[in-house]
Amino acid sequence: MALAAADGRGGPVNVRLRRLPLWPLMAAGTVTGFVGGFFIGCVLGALLAWFSGAVLDWHRQLGFTLGVTEALLPLGDQIGILQTINDFWWLVVPAAGLAVGILSAVVGTLAGGLAAAVFNRFSSGVWLEVEVPRREEAAPRAVVREVPESPRRAG
More confident of the two residues 35 and 122: 35
Say if 37 falls within a structural domain. Answer: yes
pLDDT of residue 144: 63
Residue 85 lies in a domain: yes
Q: Is residue 35 part of a domain?
A: yes
- With a cut of 80, say whether residue 129 has pLDDT above it: yes
Average pLDDT in the 62-84 region?
83
Phi-psi region of 143 (alpha: psi -120 to 50; beta: other; left: phi over 0): beta
134: in domain: no
Asked, for residue 155, whether it belongs to a domain, the answer is no
Over range 40-50, report the average pLDDT. 97
Mean pLDDT score of the chain, rounded to an integer?
A: 85
What does the alpha-carbon distance between residue 78 and residue 34 come to, in Å, rounded to a whole number?
Answer: 31
Comparison of pLDDT for 143 and 34, the residue scoring more: 34
Taking the C-alpha atoms of residue 126 and residue 123, their distance in angstroms, rounded to an integer, is: 8
For 109, the domain range is: 21-122
pLDDT band for position 155 (cuts 50, 70, 90): low
| 74: in domain | yes
Amino acid at 30: T
Specify which residues 61 forms β-bridges with.
none
Tell me, yes or no, whether 44 lies in a domain: yes
Asked whether residue 141 carries a pLDDT value surpassing 60, the answer given is yes
Residue 1 is predicted with a pLDDT of 45
